[in-house]
Amino acid sequence: MSQYVVHFMKDVVGENGRQQEICQCILDVSAGNKAEAAELAKKQFCETQGVSNWLDHADRMNVKEADFPS
């Protein structure tokens, strides 16, 4: 299994009227591949945020394999 870091991102409009991208949550996930990591992260995000659909609190997610220092 590999370690993945998953960022849940949302676009919001600030007080100045400009669109900003904010990170709603960062999760570390152990999974066999990137697709599996995405599905596990969606479930964890829903549980921690108390929502049934992750899109209720985020617009997109970024899944990257974790970099470990050598």
pLDDT tens per residue across span 1-48: 899 999 999 999 988 899 999 999 999 999 999 999 999 999 999 999
pLDDT > 70? residue 70: no
Q: Using CA atoms, how far apart are residues 34 and 30, in angstroms rounded to an integer? A: 10
Q: Using CA atoms, how far apart are residues 38 and 12, in angstroms rounded to an integer? A: 23
pTM for the model: 0.86
Pairing of strands 2-13, 60-65: antiparallel
2-65 classified as CATH 3.10.20:
yes
Nearest to 26 by CA among 6, 11, 42: 6
